[in-house]
Amino acid sequence: MKELNVLENRLATVQSVSILQVDKDTRSIGITFNYQGEIYTGYIDVVTENVELILHDRSDIGSIHNVGSTTLNKLVSFFDDLPSIQTICS
């Protein structure tokens, strides 16, 4: 269970990501985030740190499309690399 808590705490620091569910039985974490007007859901395997990404259709939230797989490190790095709004302000 320690790995589950570590990943949950790590994800809590990513401001754009919301944790939907922490499932101790399957050792997985469900997340959601918006990016460029699209809603994504991710399911993270705590053991492998693999992430399955799903895109929700904006006109029918129940309609989903599998985007593919990535790793937790790549996903966190992606959000870390996004510029903040302060970078365009004077």
Distance in angstroms (rounded) separating the CA atoms of residues 75 and 73: 5
Backbone angles phi, psi at 49, to 5 degrees: 60, 25
Distance in angstroms (rounded) separating the CA atoms of residues 82 and 14: 11
Direct distance between the N- and C-terminal alpha carbons of the chain, in angstroms, rounded to an integer: 46
**In the predicted model, what is the mean pLDDT of residues 37-47?**
95
Q: What is the pTM of this model?
A: 0.86
Which has more confidence, 36 or 15? 36
90 pLDDT band, cuts 50/70/90, is confident
